[in-house]
Each structure stands twice: as C-alpha cells, then as structure tokens.
Amino acid sequence: MSYERQPARLAVINMRNQLDRMMKKEEAKTSSMSSLGLLAPRQAKQESNQTSESARVLNYMKQIRTNMSV
C-alpha cells in the first residue's frame, strides 16, 4: 500500500509531526519564559490569533492529546 490516493493518511502523518514539534517547542518556551511586561515579545499573542484551518486542526489535536493523555 502506498500513500497514493490516501490524502487523509498523509495529512495525519504531517499534522502529527507538526504537533509533536509544536509541543516540544512549547515545552522549551515555558521552561525559558521569564519576561512578562509591556516590553515582552508578543509572539504568544500572535500565535493565538492564527485562524488558518491547519492551525485550528492542530489546536484541536493538541487539546485532545493533552486531555486524553493517561
């Protein structure tokens, strides 16, 4: 069986890799986050404003993964 004519499978693989990377990045960010103030970078705020379909899907996947982790 190949990836041909299986776009959903390819989407699953790519999105899961993306989610893994995103969660690792967030873990690293929370451990190094210290500056909170008016002059702090607004990166976190910008990320939450992302409304692309893939970003929304990633967000749902993240919520499911964190809530259903045993």
Q: Could you tell me the sign of the dihedral formed by the alpha carbons of 32, 64, 47, 15, in that order?
A: positive
User: What minimum distance in Å lies between the beta carbon of 6 and other proteins?
Assistant: 7
Q: Which is nearer to other proteins, 6 or 33 (CB)?
A: 6
Residues that bind other proteins (CB under 8 A): 1-9, 11-13, 15-16, 19, 53-54, 56-57, 60-61, 64-65, 67-70
What sections of the chain are H helices per DSSP? 7-32, 43-48, 53-68
Q: Which is nearer to other proteins, 2 or 32 (CB)?
A: 2
